[in-house]
Amino acid sequence: MRVLSANLFSLLLLCALASVFYVWSALEDRLERHKRRFSVPGAVSFHQALPVDLSAKTFRALLAVPAAQRLHFGDRLKTRLNLTNQPVSAGNRDYNMNGDNKRSAPREGPVKLSPLEDGIFWNEWLEDTLPAGFTEEYAVAWQKKARTYRVVKLEPGCGRISNQLATFADGTKACVRYGINADQVQGETLTYYLARLLGITNLPPLVLSQLDSDSEQWESVRTRIDGLQWNDRAVVSLTQWISNLTGVITPAPLRQESSGLHPALKGLWNKTAAELLELMQWTDLIVLDYLTANFDRLVSNLFSLQWDSRVMERDTNNLLKTPRGDLVFIDNEAGLVHGFRVLNMWEKYHNTVLSSVCVFRKRTTQRVAELHTRRDSRQRLLELYRDSEPLSQELGFLSDEHAGVLQDRIDRLYKHIVHCKGKYGQL
């Protein structure tokens, strides 16, 4: 009886501490969002301030469970989606926030054409209206600069205390992620390159840098680095910092009281182009977060419904929006490596979120179908990562086990798309 009482007391104490962490994180997040609404003098036209940890991440210590076992989803599917085989560019337009993109259409007012085609896909005209986000050309140019420019200042401003806001010699800024362990930097980096493989361009450009004592890039802030007690051989990530961003509330079709975002949703035909374009980006976000098992966005909100029934009515974790309405996926450190380690705890929430969506971008599903058919996700991700990032060897890559989990999740996502196609393809 005494043992039972002790265990009960320990459980209550643990829940109390978790609640304190949750409230404290929310307060930090409000402060961070307030700061993000103001531009920084001398900065480029758009920056990014990474948000602080929210509910799911405050439980990181509680989630240190053994590595997730590889999932087995059965035999490979024999069914094939009826998708075109035309190659899709990962981006052939510069990221644009000024509203002068020639391929953009007016975003206000009701849409006259059907928002869907072939049952479950966003209409091609709507896809062509979607801004290109951070194109490959734009990202390469920023990465080249970020690898060579000297860092002249490090200060708080990118979420958790272990991260810093860096100012380059030309006045532009980047968020420096110094992970509690290598999993976080690796997860952030590999999620970025997986998004590139999928043609999802909502993630700001990212590079790796090593805090070498002989590095000219970090020479001006060496005292600050020593004060932060950063390992001088550590590999950190630098992500473009974007200002003037606002929070994003989960759209009604994706909340718990809705039947989900599917072709039979009556309200879909009454939405404006702006609303449809945002929903399209949400479907890409759900695809990416499912593949990477990122629990620190919509999934953590779903988890938090247990004690916060209105969490879906507030800003979504690690998701921001430009004044133009384009979504920016930030702070992806929970994806892939760490997300796979704690997969057993979060999988039911990942499945719930995925099952709520049966509308997709055709170009994204083409990439998924290709990775499913060829079963070469590990090889293609590794090649892109190594070809693009000089420090890839130092940071490392997915283990064979985690690479297998990624391929399994691609196969499972493909199976879900086939299910949606069979259910709604005749609409």
pLDDT tens for 348-381 read 999 999 999 999 999 999 999 999 999 999 999 9
The yes-or-no verdict on residue 263 having pLDDT over 70 is yes
Q: Which fold has domain 136-240?
A: Phosphorylase Kinase; domain 1 (3.30.200)
Query: How high is the mean pLDDT of the chain?
Result: 80
Domain ranges in the chain are 116-131+244-425, 136-240
Burial of 411 (0-12, 13-18, 19+ CB in 10 A): buried
Give the span between the Cα atoms of 417 and 419, in whole angstroms. 5
Give the torsion through C-alpha atoms of 179, 184, 189, 190, to 10 deg.
160
pTM for the predicted model, two decimal places: 0.78
- Looking at residue 46, its pLDDT comes to 33
- Looking at residue 340, its pLDDT comes to 96
Each residue of 327-349: pLDDT tens digit?
999 999 999 999 999 999 999 99
- Residue range 86-96: average pLDDT? 34
- Residue range 240-252: average pLDDT? 93
Give the span between the Cα atoms of 127 and 210, in whole angstroms. 38
The yes-or-no verdict on residue 129 having pLDDT over 80 is yes
Residue 112's pLDDT band, with cuts at 50, 70 and 90, is: low
- Looking at residue 352, its pLDDT comes to 94
Give the span between the Cα atoms of 48 and 237, in whole angstroms. 14
Q: What 3-state class would DSSP assign to 178?
A: coil
- Looking at residue 216, its pLDDT comes to 92
- Looking at residue 36, its pLDDT comes to 45
- Looking at residue 384, its pLDDT comes to 97
- Residue range 249-273: average pLDDT? 89
The yes-or-no verdict on residue 28 having pLDDT over 70 is no
